[in-house]
Structure 1
Amino acid sequence: MVDLSTKLRVELGVSQLNKHGEELCGDSVEIGEGPDSTIVVLSDGLGSGVKANILSSLTVRMIATMLKGGLALEDVIDALARTLPVCEKRHLAYSTFSILQIFCDGSAHIAEYDGPPAFIGRGRDLVSVPRSDRVVGGRVVKEAFFSVQDGDWIVMVSDGVLHAGIGGVWNIGWGWDRVAEYVRSVAGWAETAQEFAEEIARVTGKLYGEKPGDDATVVAVRVRRARSLTMLVGPPVDRRDDPEVVAELMQETGKKVVCGGTTGNMVARILGKPITVDLSSEDRRVPPTAEIEGIDLVTEGMLTLSYTLEKLKAGTRLRDVAWKKDGASRLAAALLEADSVRIIVGRAINPAHQSPDVPVTLALKQKIVDELAQVLRGMGKRVVVEYH
């Protein structure tokens, strides 16, 4: 995920279906970052199975390596078009490719060789982006230059998606136009790029009767505003630092979260705001949340953090928790939505956690926070942990 500016991010999602009976997908996707850009490469190897997988894997790795090294996309296209072999019997390229490169200044370049044209949209609308032909070594590569902004999306697919339904729902397959309409509708409600990609792949599988006749790949790219979250966990050791820590929390942009009853009372006291308990949680295991004006979420401390960590480690997705009201689910949803997370940890010890009746893990605030940070970094998020 790359910064387009200090305010915009590129979010990516990938979903694939193997041809029925094959262990490997003949399509390959490579995602990387160049010196000033995000790079997405999709390749469809000729045929299916191991051979197709090897061909497409080599293609995407070659392209991504050259682009990451700073080579211009035009030069990469020239090199590939001149070197990719062609099947003598079928007169088809051994692998197709679609390349999307989005730069930090918001400019974008797409190049497509023998693959379906990408779907490009803004909000809920498809956008027509004219392609021009570049002929290299007798091969035609279609290119387009355009710019992206908040709310834009690009969906790249292999031809297995367009062929879905052949001989079943539609004799001629799903087709580009019908896929385009469905992509447009999904763009209106999908919460994440991954959910976007998975929904298109889900319908593709359904149209194949859950027995895909070809490998099918969907890559969804969304451009949106960056989302940050700052979380205050526990008061600082020195009470004289309380105002400074609260000031740090309040001056941050994005969502603000306070974890811990003592911490919540400290924040409310310094802000001069009342704190009210919310008993609407439907999960009795998780302590209730509270409300402080100016703070997006106020939760109990170690139990809620433990349950939140448990959910994230179990692979919980945003759609699984976005509608829930308990503190752990709300905190998990906020963390899943964020691109960058700053965790301010106070080292003050809560006397309640020193009781022999309380599990040892509750006293290990640092351990839980460190694990949480590790899980979030594994999701590609930027995480900073500070101690006071």
Structure 2
Amino acid sequence: MSEPAPAAFPQNFTFRVDATDGTARTGAISMPRGVIRTPAFMPVGTAATVKAMYPGQVRDLGADVVLGNTYHLMLRPGPERMARLGGLHHFMNWPHPILTDSGGFQVMSLSALRKLDEQGVTFRSHVDGSTHHMSPERSIEIQGLLGSDIQMQLDECVRLPADHDTIEKAMRLSLRWAERCRVQFGEQPGKAMFGIVQGGDVPALRVESARALVDLDLKGYAIGGLAVGEPQDVMLAMIETVAPHLPQAKPRYLMGVGTPDDLMRSVARGIDMFDCVMPTRAGRHGLAYTRHGRINLRNARHGEDTRPLDEASSCPAARDYSRAYLHHLVRTDEILGMMLLTWNNLAYYQELMAGMRAAIAAGRLADFCDETRDAWAKAEAERNA
């Protein structure tokens, strides 16, 4: 896999909307390392790898961008070492765009003995117990050392449900940190920093957060603090609350979401970018996402099923191996089973996104989503008959 020629892509970060269908839109983010077709699903490469996949496979499935995580990479191998080794793109053999999460969510969810204050967060590593401090400035500095193309502000993410005062305090702290991140990021031609809208499930706080971030004139805006325990209808309501207050001419990123149905419903509400560990994690645990719905290969019913997961798929993992064989691999904990199901799942997610982009361009997203859900329901009924 070789680097694109420097003149192949724009030298500045740009976003365009090519077509709309209601509040849904399709377009492209362009930057020096490539073009990200939107709406886009970003496979999660937390520790400089999309688990159980080769980088070339991920690219061949249609992924234009992957996600790396500041928290994990600051612990191992370390940002300064990464910079000495040529940066994250070179390190993992992925010459295309990379978005890095700030690490805030992982600090809150994985670290032991963390202490949060105005200056940042001090935490103990889940790897070896060592103590670290991450300020907004250090988060951006680390992401710069990694060399990522899209960098996220440090924020405080609160698990839902939570009381109003806790949500408001975290939202206001995240806004102050966003301002500091913006100063630290400065002007980096061809790269972008995104702000993160917080506010839990409180509409007024979400609107206040969105408006304040828009005043910072950032390159893009994420909606954070969702998919952390709230029902789907609450998540969708928060998207509907926030989206009208974000600029039409800048990308919108829903962090940590989600299931195929979550993606369709969020795209319909104007979201452009997604990431989630679900397809890779599910693949490692015997679950396949397909045009026929979600299939649990651990179930005994698949033990003598000679059909592939999807005979019409362009992905060899879905097309060329029987469900019986996949069942065997899963039940015997063979690594190949994890690899094949991860491959299948990421292929399905990219096919779903491509289908939505085409449907939006044709003005038939609602029909596409209805047809997709009907196919899932029909297949589920047949499995349960």
Question: Normalized against structure 2, the TM-score is what?
Answer: 0.24
Larger RCO of the pair (alpha carbons < 8 Å, separation 6+)? 2
Greater share of residues in helix? 2
Larger Rg: 1
Question: Normalized against structure 1, the TM-score is what?
Answer: 0.24
